[in-house]
Amino acid sequence: MNLERLAFIGDGILYEVASEYVYNKFKDETVKENLHKEREKYKQNKNLKKITDYDDLVQYFWIAGNTVYGSKTWIHLMGTFIEAIIGAVYLDKQNIKSAKRFIENYIIPNIDTILSTHSQQ
């Protein structure tokens, strides 16, 4: 199994869970574009990359070649890394509920914390 295949399934699950989360969080929102904008916060590579910084997950990720920390390529790879973790959780348990719990208990709260911390600075 390679990183891209794991990230493919993880991305789809993250999309679904983030959609449901935003839909329930903004019950009174009727403008579709606003809901899309909110959901994208949980899908953007730059925010997923912040999780790798926040929890120092980057120490577990080795990249061959000349990828520069903080570059667009690096940010994309870190987003892919987080999506791959979601995919691995799903495949390990063969159960979407496990991946959903991981996203709801780890990904979404960390992104909310990171974004609220950055907006206060």
- Amino acid symbol at 35: L
Q: Where are the domains of the chain?
A: 3-120
Instruction: Return the CATH fold of 3-120.
Output: Ribonuclease iii, N-terminal Endonuclease Domain; Chain A (1.10.1520)
Q: What is the pLDDT of residues 34-45, one digit of tens each?
A: 899 999 998 988
Tokens of 10: 């993880």
Q: Give me the pLDDT at residue 69, please.
A: 66
**Residue-wise pLDDT tens digits, 53-96:** 777 776 666 666 666 666 788 788 889 989 999 999 999 988 89
Asked if 57 contacts 51 with a C-beta cutoff of 8 angstroms, the reply is yes
pTM for this predicted structure: 0.83
Residues with catalytic function: 11, 83
**pLDDT on residue 101:** 94
Report the C-alpha gap between 101 and 37 in whole angstroms.
23
